[in-house]
């Protein structure tokens, strides 16, 4: 049974359409991420589910109940914001217990549930403090405890990790996944950060300019992007014009200027149904740069010259020139990175390629 | 060298500002009938006489009543106006905001005369209610300014979080928004009270016959003679108008400390 269903949702602000006709099914207990750049409509969609915005058209169902006309305080949702939004004039215990007050939970039980929630977020000892006395990461844990203690039908997370420092963000990411799996609450997570989306989600909904570009599990979205936008938004990709020249069993043959003929697995080119012009998607981290004279061992090889080196510590992002194309390649560093101007070979395994219709 | 000159100058400015006030306070404890130095002795007789002067006591009661009502009405209206302007999309909110602030930009005499002429035009007689109405008009901007500033700093997210947890909009206001803006509300109320309590210009124009506030009473007494009672009354007013805001600030600080601020 699906927990949240959006049917032909549209949101317009006067002349501007923030969300174009969108339908979405979110299964019970799933962790679904709305991923996209700012202004793509992801937060607008979340706020419509929350009841903070009314959809212009379409229906929203939560647990099979139509909630279009149900105000936010009667929807039984857990909401976590980017800036924590704890009540500064209440203690941590009062913050977490806030939602229980409106649910008629008896005092003794409320006390126990608050304590359980604080233990779940690994902050059992801070109950008597005020939000200001906690660090950002701790405040966000409390915000999470406050949202889940009411046993919401859906947990809505609006960029909850974006205000935290980089290191803390990764810890919280792991923590968030652990807690979500433990309590099994259906979760909608909004972020612009692809690594958060890939790490946390059962399903990723990639959005752009108010439209859904692709829905699928992280691996599928990453390996078989459904559009140029998805290919570029999740990681770095090279997109090359190519021509589909025929099918051979489970693979499609493409002619791609500098790379010559490449046999791409058919399941990685679901949109290509006939011969003719198409686009090849080559992920930057799948292009391996080697010395020119290294043995080729079954890969496609193209000679190229390094133009720019973007050193990142354990990895390097190269911009290389191959014929008239500039390609990105992200490689782990083996001893020394290549210097700018170095002659190299690009190695590519055909099965790492994906293709889009032109 | 430069610094000591600046210090000296600052000291002179302070003397210029506060010496007259200090003289009034000092003379109010003077035993002699005539306000002159050297003082002939210390006494609280002028305070005693003040407490027995029926006219002054009546003026005092009027001022307190007027100030309290002004503060109550101004604060209520100001909070509601601020909420509407900050939290809701009101058409023409900039214009409304300007109109609400306008009474402190217009010279008080002009405002006073304008309201008086308007009342004449409408053939409405002066009354205590209209005096109160006038005070509300020119204390409202202060409340709106103070409360609005505070309300802007209270993030909408906090209210949305409260509603998502099951609090209705009304419960959210009383549980979250009001407690968070309480310092500003109290400050606004204190402003309104002290401004109303101090006011003379508008009051002189608007007060109905027979009604005196403390400032108009002092003004009337000064026209006859300079009685030492006025010094005592001045001292009482200084204590009230300076002490009340200080007390308010102290309470606000105490509240903030209890909240882990």
Convert the pLDDT of each residue in A60-82 to its tens digit.
Answer: 999 988 999 899 999 999 999 98
Domain-terminating residue out of A228, A246, A277 = A228
Same domain, A24 and A7: yes
How many other C-beta atoms lie within 10 A of the C-beta of residue A223? 16
| Structure confidence at residue B254 as a pLDDT band (50, 70, 90) | confident
Of B161, B167, B176, the CB nearest to A79: B161
Relative to beta strand A315-322, strand A300-311 is antiparallel
- Chain A interface, mutation test: which of B166, B173, B177, most A Cβ atoms within 10 Å? B166
Domain-terminating residue out of A181, A198, A228 = A228
Q: Which residues of B touch A98 (CB under 8 A)?
A: 162, 165, 167, 175
Same domain, A65 and A176: yes
- Structure confidence at residue A332 (pLDDT): 87
Residue B34 in this model has a pLDDT that exceeds 80: no
Span B116-123, mean pLDDT? 84
CA distance readout (Å), A213 to A42, A59, B142, B237? 12, 20, 52, 71
Q: For residues A258 and A280, give the distance between their C-alpha atoms in angstroms, rounded to a whole number.
A: 12
Same domain, A291 and A214: no
Span A12-35, mean pLDDT? 91
Residue keyed to tokens 């400015």? B13
How many other C-beta atoms lie within 10 A of the C-beta of residue A280? 25
Query: Does B261 or A237 have the greater pLDDT score?
Result: A237
For the ranges A28-37, A74-83, B217-226, the lowest mean pLDDT is seen at B217-226
Convert the pLDDT of each residue in A69-124 to its tens digit.
Answer: 899 999 999 999 988 899 999 999 999 999 999 998 899 999 999 999 999 888 88
For the ranges B103-117, B135-149, B181-195, B212-226, the lowest mean pLDDT is seen at B212-226
Of B160, B175, B260, the CB nearest to A132: B260
| 3-class DSSP state of B102 | helix
Read off the CATH number of the domain in which A82 is found. 3.40.50.300
Same domain, A220 and A282: no
Same domain, A188 and A245: no
Residue A263: which residues within 8 A CB-CB, separation 6 or more?
A248, A251, A252, A253, A254, A350
| Residue B141 and residue B100 in contact, taking contact as beta carbons nearer than 8 Å | yes
- Structure confidence at residue B261 (pLDDT): 43
- Rounded to a whole number of angstroms, the distance from the CA of A152 to the nearest CA of chain B is 9
Between helix B128-153 and helix B108-121 the angle, nearest 10°, is: 130
- Chain B interface, mutation test: which of A73, A95, A99, A140, most B Cβ atoms within 10 Å? A73
Across all residues in chain B, what is the average pLDDT? 86
| Structure confidence at residue B56 as a pLDDT band (50, 70, 90) | confident
Q: For residues B159 and B181, give the distance between their C-alpha atoms in angstroms, rounded to a whole number.
A: 13
Find the residue in B nearest to A96 (Cα): B165
Domain-terminating residue out of A204, A228, A252 = A228
Q: For residues A146 and A151, give the distance between their C-alpha atoms in angstroms, rounded to a whole number.
A: 10
Same domain, A17 and A63: yes
Contact assignment for B161 to A81 by CB distance below 8 Å: yes
Q: What domain range is A264 assigned to? A: 236-357
Contact assignment for B260 to A52 by CB distance below 8 Å: no
Residue A329 in this model has a pLDDT that exceeds 60: yes
- Chain A interface, mutation test: which of B89, B164, B170, most A Cβ atoms within 10 Å? B164
Find the residue in A nearest to B168 (Cα): A73
Contact assignment for B165 to A83 by CB distance below 8 Å: no
Same domain, A319 and A246: yes
Contact assignment for A102 to B161 by CB distance below 8 Å: no
Sheet order of strands, A186-191 included: A77-80, A154-158, A186-191, A31-35, A203-208, A211-216
Find the residue in B nearest to A103 (Cα): B166
Q: For residues A130 and B222, give the distance between their C-alpha atoms in angstroms, rounded to a whole number.
A: 55
Residue B174: which residues within 8 A CB-CB, separation 6 or more?
none
Same domain, A216 and A256: no
Residue B8: which residues within 8 A CB-CB, separation 6 or more?
none
Span B56-66, mean pLDDT? 90
**Beta partners for residue B249, in sequence order:** none
Closest CA to B77 of B154, B129, B136, B152: B136
Same domain, A55 and A201: yes
Read off the CATH number of the domain in which A314 is found. 2.40.50.100
Q: For residues A147 and A186, give the distance between their C-alpha atoms in angstroms, rounded to a whole number.
A: 13
Question: Longest Cα pair distance anywhere in chain A, in angstroms?
Answer: 76
For the ranges A17-21, A194-198, B50-54, B165-169, the lowest mean pLDDT is seen at B50-54
- Rounded to a whole number of angstroms, the distance from the CA of A48 to the nearest CA of chain B is 13
Half-sphere exposure of B80 (CA within 13 A, CB side): 6
- Structure confidence at residue B258 (pLDDT): 61
Residue B83 in this model has a pLDDT that exceeds 70: yes
| B180 contact A CB<8A | yes
Task: Say how many residues make up chain B.
Answer: 261
| Structure confidence at residue B209 as a pLDDT band (50, 70, 90) | confident
Span B202-228, mean pLDDT? 83
Domain count, chain A: 2
- Rounded to a whole number of angstroms, the distance from the CA of A83 to the nearest CA of chain B is 8
- Structure confidence at residue B36 (pLDDT): 67
Query: Does A54 or B251 have the greater pLDDT score?
Result: A54
Same domain, A201 and A249: no
Domain architecture of chain B: domains with CATH: 1-43 (no CATH), 56-258 (1.10.3720.10)
Across all residues in chain A, what is the average pLDDT? 88
Convert the pLDDT of each residue in B171-195 to its tens digit.
Answer: 999 999 999 998 889 889 988 998 8
| B160 contact A CB<8A | yes
- Structure confidence at residue A1 (pLDDT): 60
The 10 Å CB-count burial string (b at 16+, else e) for A6-22 is bbebbbeeeeebbbeeb
Contact assignment for A88 to B180 by CB distance below 8 Å: yes
Query: Does A328 or B255 have the greater pLDDT score?
Result: A328
Convert the pLDDT of each residue in A184-233 to its tens digit.
Answer: 999 999 999 988 899 899 999 999 999 999 999 999 999 888 888 998 88
Span B66-85, mean pLDDT? 93
Same domain, A245 and A181: no
| Residue A142 and residue A131 in contact, taking contact as beta carbons nearer than 8 Å | yes
Same domain, A274 and A199: no
- Chain A interface, mutation test: which of B150, B156, B161, most A Cβ atoms within 10 Å? B161
Of A50, A87, A91, the CB nearest to B164: A50
């Amino acid at each position: 049974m699906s927990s949240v269903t959006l049917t032909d949702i549209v949101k317009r602000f006067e002349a501007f359409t923030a969300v174009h006709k969108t339908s979405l099914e979110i299964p019970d207990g799933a962790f679904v991420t709305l991923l996209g750049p700012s202004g793509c409509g992801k937060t607008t969609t979340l706020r419509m589910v929350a009841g903070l915005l009314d959809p212009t058209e379409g229906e929203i169902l939560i647990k099979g109940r139509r909630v279009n006309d149900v105000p936010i305080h009667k929807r039984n949702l857990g909401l976590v914001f980017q800036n924590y939004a704890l009540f500064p004039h209440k203690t941590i215990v009062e913050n977490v217990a806030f939602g229980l007050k409106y649910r008629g939970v008896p005092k003794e039980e409320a006390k126990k549930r608050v304590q359980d929630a604080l233990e779940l977020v690994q902050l059992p000892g801070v109950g008597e403090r005020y939000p200001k006395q906690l660090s950002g990461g701790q405040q966000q844990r409390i915000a999470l405890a406050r949202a889940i203690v009411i046993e919401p039908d859906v947990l809505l997370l609006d960029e909850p990790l974006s205000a935290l420092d980089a290191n803390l963000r990764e810890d919280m990411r792991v923590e968030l996944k652990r807690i979500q799996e433990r309590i099994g609450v259906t979760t909608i997570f909004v972020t612009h950060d692809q690594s958060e989306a890939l790490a946390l989600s059962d399903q990723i909904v990639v959005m752009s300019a108010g439209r859904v570009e692709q829905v699928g599990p992280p691996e599928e979205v990453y390996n078989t992007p459904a559009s140029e936008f998805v290919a570029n938004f999740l990681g770095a990709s090279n997109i090359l014009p190519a021509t589909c020249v025929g099918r051979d069993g489970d693979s499609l043959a493409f002619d791609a200027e500098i790379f010559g003929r490449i046999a791409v697995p058919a399941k990685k080119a679901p949109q290509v149904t006939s011969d003719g012009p198409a686009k090849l998607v080559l992920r930057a981290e799948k292009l391996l740069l080697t010395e020119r004279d290294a043995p080729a061992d079954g890969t496609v090889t193209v000679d190229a010259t390094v133009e720019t080196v973007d050193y990142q510590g354990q990895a390097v992002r190269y911009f290389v020139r191959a014929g008239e194309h500039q390609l990105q390649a992200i490689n782990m560093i083996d001893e020394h990175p290549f210097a700018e101007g170095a002659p190299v070979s690009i190695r590519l395994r055909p099965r790492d390629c994906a293709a889009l219709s032109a | 060298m430069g610094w000591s000159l600046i210090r000296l100058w600052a000291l002179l400015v302070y003397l210029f500002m506060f010496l007259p006030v200090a003289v009034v306070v000092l003379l109010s404890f003077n035993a002699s009938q005539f306000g002159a130095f050297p003082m002939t002795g210390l006494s609280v007789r002028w305070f005693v006489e003040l407490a027995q002067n029926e006219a002054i006591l009546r003026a005092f009661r009027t001022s307190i009543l007027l100030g309290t009502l002004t503060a109550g009405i101004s604060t209520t209206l100001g909070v509601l106006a601020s909420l509407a302007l900050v939290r809701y999309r009101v058409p023409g909110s900039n214009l409304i905001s300007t109109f609400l602030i306008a009474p402190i930009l217009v010279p008080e005499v002009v405002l006073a005369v304008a309201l008086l002429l308007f009342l004449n035009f409408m053939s409405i007689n002066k009354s205590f209610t209209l005096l109160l109405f006038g005070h509300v008009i020119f204390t409202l901007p202060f409340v709106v300014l103070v409360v609005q500033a505070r309300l802007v700093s209270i993030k909408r997210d906090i209210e949305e979080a409260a509603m998502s947890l099951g609090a209705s909009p009304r419960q959210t206001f009383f549980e979250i928004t009001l407690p968070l803006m309480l310092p500003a509300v109290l400050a606004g109320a204190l402003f309104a009270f002290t401004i109303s309590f101090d006011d003379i210009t508008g009051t002189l124009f608007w007060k109905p016959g027979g009604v005196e506030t403390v400032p108009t009473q002092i003004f009337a007494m000064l026209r006859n003679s300079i009685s030492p009672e006025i010094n005592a009354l001045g001292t009482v007013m200084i204590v009230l108008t300076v002490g009340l805001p200080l007390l308010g600030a102290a309470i606000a600080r105490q509240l903030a400390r209890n909240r882990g601020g």
